[in-house]
Amino acid sequence: MTIPARILAGVMAVCLGLSLSSPPAAAAPLEAYGRLPLIEDVQISPDGALIAVAMTDGENRLVVIKRLADDKVIGGLRAGDKKVRDVRWAGSDFLLVTTSQTALVRDLTGPRREYLISIVYDLATKRQRGLMDRAENSMNVVLSMPRVRVVDGELVAIVEGVNFVENRGQVGLFRVKLKTGVTRTIEDGQENTDDWVVGADGLAVAQTEYDQRSGLWKLRLKGPKTWRIVEEATLPIDRPWLGGLGRDGRSVLVGSTDDDGGTVLREYPLDGGEPTTTPSPHDNLIHDPASWALIGAAGLVGDDYRYSFYEPRADAVWKAVIKAYPATDRVHLVSWSHDRRKIVVLVDSPVDGPAYALVDLDRKAADWLGAEYGALQPADISEVRAISYKAADGLTITGYLTLPRGREARDLPLVVLPHGGPAARDTPGFDWWAQALASRGYAVLQPNFRGSAGLGVDVLEAGYGEWGRKMQTDLSDGVRDLAGKGLIDPARVCIVGASYGGYAALAGVTLDTGVYRCAAAIAGVADLRRFMEAQRVAYGTSENSSLRYWSRFLGVDGRKDPDLDAISPARLAARADAPVLLVHGKDDTVVLYDQSRIMADALKKAGKPVELVTLQGEDHWLSRGETRLQMLKAVVAFLEKHNPPD
C-alpha cells in the first residue's frame, strides 16, 4: 500500500525536522529511550539526488523517499509492523526494501522461523510488489539481501531463494528484472551451498558449501563451462566466509580469522591464478557502489571505530568527511553516491546522541537529517566512561560505565548489564538501554567479559568452557572493583541482561550468589540441555556446527553431557537468592520462549519470587516498539521495587 503524499510530508516534517540544536526539555520519559529509533537508516541514491529514509512512528515502520533539490517527499511505502532489515537503491528508479516476519510455514518442517521478504518500489508508478512474486515453483521469501546489477543495460536484482524440485526445497540464485518483474533461475545450488558471490555482470562467480554433519567446507569458482573446487577443508566449527569481489573486481575474497583474532582476506583470481593475501585490519568490508570491487574496511580498534581504504580517492573523501565533526564524535559511513560527493553519515556524539547527517563535498556543507532518538536532549544523555579491571585470575577485563547525571559518582546503585552473544562485545557510544537505566539514577556496568569477540583471540578463547564459571565471576569481579573505588554501593547491585546476558543474570543469582539484590533476564537461556536440543531440532541432525560451537563454549561433550545441569539456572532454582524477572518474546526463534517458562516454573516450585512478562509478537532482538518499551518499563519497575535508586 502506498502512502498519500500529504501524510508522508507531515511525517517527514516532524521526523526529519529534528536537529541536534533543539531546545532543552524536561527529563525524558522512558518512552524517549525505549521506543524504536525515529530513523533507522538513510540511503542516498546513486546519482545523489534522492534519499530513502527508513523510519518509525514509535511502532510502525515506513520508508519515505525525498528529493534533495527541493526537500520534497516524492514517494514511499508502509511496512506496518513488519521489521525493515535492509534498504537499498537499484539505480535511481527503484528501491528494494527487505523486511522480516516470524512465521510457521505449514509445508516446511521444523520450528517457527524468521523469514525475509524483499519488496520492489517503482518510483515512476508509485507501486510496489514482492521481488519474488513472479518466480515459479518458489517461495516468496529470500535467503539473503538482493544484489543490484546492470545486465544488458537493464537493472536486475540477484537474490538467493528456494526452488521446489519434486516437492523438495533447493537453494537457487534468481535474477529479477526490476522493470518487468520477469524472474528466472540462473544457478541451482549444490546440496550444501550456503553463500554466493555475484560478479559485476550479474553472473555467479563463486559459491561455498558446508556439510553440517561432516564439517567439510568447499570453495567453488565458476569456470568457462562448469564449477570447479579450488579449496576444501574439514572445519567442524569455524569456517571461512565469502567477502564479495576483490580489489580488482576480478577476484573473490575469502575471509577468515588468524591466530591473533584478526581478519585475513584471501583473493582468488577468477582466471585460475594463485590466491594472494590482502591485509585487512577489520572485517566490515566496503565495496565500490558501482563496480562492487573492494575499496576498504572498517571496525573497532580498542574504543575507536576506524576506516581503512585501499583506494586513495575513497580515503581522501573519508578524511574530508570526518574533518567536519569534533574529534569526540564517532562518525560512521552509512551510504554515499556513486561519485562519492554526497555522503550520509551517522554521527554519535557523547553530548547529543546519535543523529544522521548529509555531507555535500561540492557545497562544502554538512546538514543534519535527524536524530535517532529525537525526544532526547543533551540533558538526557549520561556520561560513558571506558574502564578496565582485573579478574580474579589476573585477566584484564575492559568495558564501559555509564554514570547517572546530576549525582556524585560515589556509592551509586549499580546495574550490571552484560551483553549477549557471548562472542560479541559492548562498544563505546550511545546505548539506549544503558542510557535509560542511567536516567533513573543507576550506574550501569557493561563489561567485555572473557568470551567476548573483537578484543583478540586470547580474550575470546579464555571464555571456552567458562559459562557459569569464570565468564560469570568476571562480572562480579567488576562489581567488587567499582565498590573498592567507592563508585558504587555493593549492597545495591542488580543484574540485567538479554540473550546470553539473560543467562548471566539468572546465573548471577543461582551460581554466583551473594552479589545481586535482583536479576532480570530478557530472552535468557535457563535450561542448557533444552537449549542444545533446540539446536538439534533446528538443524535436523545431532551433528551440526551449532551444537559443536556451543559445546566448545559450554565446556561439555554434546547435548547429553550431564555437566549441562550443573550450569543450568533452571536446574538450580532452589539456590536463587534474589527476586527474578523474566521477559520473553513469544516469537523468539533464537532462544525459545519455553526457556523462560521453564525457569518460572522451577522458581515457583522452589518457592522463590519470580515474575514472567510475555511479549506478544516479539522476536529475539526486541524489534517492535510497543514490546521493547513494555520490556523497559517492566525492568525499571522491577529495579525500583527491589533496588531503589535513592
Judge if the upstream peptide bond of residue 422 is cis by omega within 30 degrees of 0. yes
- Cα(343)–Cα(325) distance, rounded to whole angstroms? 14
Burial of 633 (0-12, 13-18, 19+ CB in 10 A): middle
Mean pLDDT, to the nearest integer, of 100-120? 75
- Cα(323)–Cα(340) distance, rounded to whole angstroms? 16
Cell (9 digits) for 166: 519434486
- Over the stretch 595-621, which tens digit does the pLDDT of each residue have? 999 999 999 999 999 999 999 999 999
Residues of the chain above pLDDT 70, percent: 94
pLDDT at 17: 34
Whether the pLDDT of residue 478 is over 70: the answer is: yes
Mean pLDDT, to the nearest integer, of 552-560? 90
Whether the pLDDT of residue 203 is over 70: the answer is: yes
- Name 115's bridge partners: 101
pLDDT at 105: 56
State the DSSP H helix or E strand holding residue 197, giving kind and residue range, or none if neither: strand 193-198
pLDDT at 27: 64
- Measured from the Cβ of residue 111, the count of other Cβ atoms closer than 10 Å reads 10
- Cα(373)–Cα(348) distance, rounded to whole angstroms? 11
- Cα(492)–Cα(515) distance, rounded to whole angstroms? 9
pLDDT at 313: 93
- Over the stretch 276-293, which tens digit does the pLDDT of each residue have? 997 777 889 999 988 999
- Cα(637)–Cα(436) distance, rounded to whole angstroms? 12
The fourth-level CATH superfamily of domain 385-452+470-503 is: Alpha/Beta hydrolase fold, catalytic domain (3.40.50.1820)
| Cell 518509525, located at residue | 56
- Over the stretch 361-400, which tens digit does the pLDDT of each residue have? 999 999 999 999 999 999 999 999 999 999 999 999 999 9
How is the chain split into domains, by residue range? Answer: 385-452+470-503, 523-607
- Over the stretch 453-475, which tens digit does the pLDDT of each residue have? 989 899 999 999 999 999 999 99
pLDDT at 104: 63
Cβ distance 295 to 311 under 8 Å? yes
- Cα(622)–Cα(288) distance, rounded to whole angstroms? 32
Mean pLDDT, to the nearest integer, of 565-581? 97
Whether the pLDDT of residue 131 is over 90: the answer is: yes
Reported as a pLDDT band with limits 50, 70 and 90, residue 3 is: very low
pLDDT at 137: 77
Mean pLDDT of the chain: 91
Please report, for residues 169, 356, 383, the alpha-carbon distance to residue 478 in angstroms, rounded to integers and kept in the order given: 49, 34, 18
pLDDT at 590: 94
Whether the pLDDT of residue 575 is over 80: the answer is: yes
pLDDT at 253: 95
Cα dihedral: 183, 186, 188, 193 (round 10): -100
pLDDT at 140: 85
Mean pLDDT, to the nearest integer, of 151-177? 88
DSSP annotation of 601 reads: H
Whether the pLDDT of residue 622 is over 80: the answer is: yes
Cell (9 digits) for 574: 532452589
pLDDT at 423: 94
pLDDT at 111: 60
Mean pLDDT, to the nearest integer, of 243-269? 89
pLDDT at 168: 73
pLDDT at 380: 96
Whether the pLDDT of residue 631 is over 70: the answer is: yes
Reported as a pLDDT band with limits 50, 70 and 90, residue 301 is: confident
- Over the stretch 8-63, which tens digit does the pLDDT of each residue have? 333 333 333 333 333 334 469 999 999 999 999 999 999 999 999 999 987 889 99
Mean pLDDT, to the nearest integer, of 343-357? 96
Q: Which is higher by pLDDT, 276 or 106? A: 276
DSSP annotation of 138 reads: B
